[in-house]
A and B are shown apart, each in its own frame.
Chain A
Amino acid sequence: MTNMMHRDPPKFPCDIETELDRISSLPEHILEQILLQLSLRDAVRTCILSKKWRYRWAKIPHLVFDNNCLTLSTQDQGLIKNKLVNVVDHILLLHHGPIYKFKLSHRDLLGVPDIDRWILHLSRIPIKEFILEIWKGQRYKLPSCLFSYENLTHLELFNCLLKPPPFKGFRNLKSLDLQHITLAQDAFENLISGCPLLERLTLMNFDGFSHLNINAPNLQFFDIGGVFDDVSFENTFQLTLVSIGLYENVKNDPRTAHGGYWKLLSFFANLPRIRRLEVQSYFLQYLAVGNIPSKLPKPCIDLNYLSIRINFNDLEENAAALCLLRSAPNLQELEMLARPEEQNSAVTVTKFSEDDKWNCLFGQLQFIKIVGISGVKAELDFINFLLSNSPMLERMTIKPAPTNGGWEMVKQLLRFRRASVQAEIVYLDP
Chain B
Amino acid sequence: MSEVDMAVIKPEMMKSYVWLQTTDGSIQQVEQEVAMFCPFICHEVLQKGMGSSKSYAICLPQRVNPAMLSLVLDYCRFHQVPGRSNKERKSFDEKFIRMDTKRLCELTSAADSLQLKPLVDLTSRALARIIEGKTPEEIREIFHLPDDLTEEEKLEPLKNTTDDPRIRLLNRLYAKKRKELREREKLKIVEAEEERVDDRSVDELLSFINGGNGDSKVLKTSKNKKKRRRRKDQQKNASHSEVAETDERESNGLHPMCHDTELDDEFRPSSSGASKLQDGEDDIFAPKVEFDDVDDEIDPALKEKIDREVEDFARRLNSVWPERMQELLSFGQERRPVHFAVNGNGTLRRCGSAEQK
Contact = CB atoms under 8 A, between A and B. Distances in A.
B263 interface: yes
Given A30-B108, A48-B331, A42 B146 contact: no
Interface in B122-147: 124-125, 127-133, 136, 139-140, 142-147
B189 interface: no
Nearest to B95: A6
Given A48-B154, A73-B212, 10 more contacts: A3-B98, A4-B98, A22-B105, A23-B101, A26-B105, A70-B323, A71-B323, A90-B325, A135-B280, A205-B274
Contact of A107 (B67, B257, B263): B263
A209 B145 CA distance: 57
A44 B324 contact: yes
B103 interface: yes
A383 to B, nearest CB: 29
B124 A34 contact: yes
Contacts of A2: 99-100
Interface string A30-50: 100111011101101111111
A18 B124 contact: no
A403 interface: no
A245 B190 CA distance: 83
A20 B144 contact: yes
A327 interface: no
Interface string A4-22: 1011001110100111111
B128 A50 contact: no
A48 B328 contact: yes
A107 B280 contact: yes
Contacts of A71: 214, 256-257, 260, 323
A76 B98 CA distance: 43
Nearest to B260: A71
B319 A74 contact: yes
10 contacts: A4-B100, A10-B67, A30-B112, A38-B132, A53-B145, A71-B214, A79-B319, A107-B267, A107-B280, A136-B280
A73 B285 contact: yes
B54 interface: no
Interface string B262-282: 011001010101101100111
B352 interface: no
B105 A90 contact: no
A27 B99 contact: no
Contacts of A202: 271
B290 to A, nearest CB: 9
A180 interface: yes
Chain A facing B: main interface SS: mixed
Given A51-B149, A67-B263, A135 B277 contact: yes
A400 B344 CA distance: 74
B271 A45 contact: no
Contacts of B319: 73-74, 76, 79, 83
B250 interface: no
A179 B321 contact: no
- Chain A, interface size category, equals 35 or more
Contacts of B347: none
Contacts of B277: 135-137, 159, 180
Contacts of A49: 136, 139-140, 145, 149
A1 B127 CA distance: 11
Given A18-B102, A22-B143, A54-B149, A67 B128 contact: no
A212 B288 CA distance: 49
B9 interface: no
Interface string B133-174: 100100110111111110001100100110000000000000
Interface string A163-181: 0000000000000000110
B149 A48 contact: yes
Contacts, number: 193
A135 B320 CA distance: 21
A105 interface: yes
B280 to A, nearest CB: 5
Interface residues of B, number: 77
B144 A21 contact: yes
B73 interface: no
B120 interface: yes
B256 A72 contact: yes
Nearest to B133: A42
Top 5 A-B residue pairs of the complex, sorted by shortest distance between their CB atoms: A37-B128, A22-B105, A3-B98, A87-B322, A204-B271
B128 A38 contact: yes
Contacts of B108: 26, 30
Given A19-B144, A71-B260, A86 B267 contact: no
B52 interface: no
A278 interface: no
B109 to A, nearest CB: 6
B31 interface: no
Contacts of B331: 48
A102 interface: no
B105 A23 contact: yes
Given A10-B67, A73-B285, A135 B276 contact: yes
B127 A34 contact: yes
Contacts of B154: 48
A46 B144 contact: no
A225 interface: yes
A398 to B, nearest CB: 25
B131 A39 contact: no
Contacts of B311: none
A67 B127 contact: no
Contacts of A50: 140, 145-149
B332 interface: yes
A352 to B, nearest CB: 34
Contact of A37 (B124, B148, B161, B261): B124
Contacts of B327: 45
Interface string A61-80: 00000011011111110010
Interface string B193-222: 000000000000000000010100000000
A73 B317 CA distance: 12
B111 to A, nearest CB: 9
A75 B287 CA distance: 9
B148 A51 contact: yes
A94 B325 CA distance: 12
Contacts of A37: 124-125, 127-129
B269 A23 contact: no
A75 B257 CA distance: 15
B124 A33 contact: yes
Nearest to B97: A3
Nearest to A180: B274
B284 interface: yes
Given A45-B136, A107-B284, A24 B67 contact: no
A82 interface: yes
